[in-house]
Amino acid sequence: MIHLQEDGQTPRRYEEHAYVLDVRRRGRSTTVRGREGTIVTAIGEDRLTLLELLGAPDAMFKAGERVYIGKEGRKKVSSVLGKMEYGRITDSAKAELEDVVNGIVASCEDRFVHYVNSSQPLTPRVHALELLSGIGKNYLKTILGEREKKKFESFADIEERTGLKQPAALFSKRILEEVAGKARMNMFVKR
């Protein structure tokens, strides 16, 4: 969702949904001093940022669950406490992260296929697609040639027409690197 800031000019985006990575009952917030309760570590669906949430009283959460965190009408989440750094999340959250990211990539396939169809060179020598592990100059040339003929429609279409194995896994791997702070440049995770 996009909201205008107080100056009325600059659009600001907020997450609408997040996926639960870990829940600490009677926990303490690491982002907002003095906040206690059901502390939920989650990853946003759109911006892929790690978030700390305060669960509503008596709300139950399970790992991998998609919860609404938009501005109005929350039922299970009292508030979004803030963004988290990868190094500050629990080991349980880290253990869930890969499965949750794989699920996000699978459920948002159109978004990532659009990325393949529309990505551009970053510099004269490096194309944005080359930031995905497994895509070198040969695959890049094939992908660009095939998308000129016809835009890709799905991960299966990309795999069939280019020979690139498991394109969804390449996106998941890149997102995990960005979330963990191991990438020099973020293409998918918003800071």
Q: What is the pLDDT of residues 137-190, one digit of tens each?
A: 999 999 999 999 999 999 999 999 999 999 999 999 999 999 999 998 999 998
Identify whether the C-beta of residue 83 lies closer than 8 Å to the C-beta of residue 76. Answer: no
Q: What is the pLDDT of residue 1?
A: 44
CA 180/CA 55 separation, integer angstroms: 24
Block residue for tokens 């890049």:
140
- pLDDT, one tens digit per residue, over 24-73 is 998 999 889 889 999 999 999 999 999 999 999 989 999 999 999 998 88
Could you tell me the two tokens for 59? 């709300």
Taking 80 as the threshold, does the pLDDT of residue 128 lie above it?
A: yes
Task: Give Cα separations from 96 to 65, 122, 126, 181 (angstroms).
Answer: 11, 32, 32, 17
Mean pLDDT of the chain: 92
Q: What is the pLDDT of residue 18?
A: 97
Could you tell me the two tokens for 32? 């907002």
Domains detected in the chain: 2-89 (2.40.50.140), 108-179 (1.10.150.280)
Q: Up-side HSE of residue 5: CA atoms within 13 Å toward CB?
A: 6
Could you tell me the two tokens for 92? 């349980």
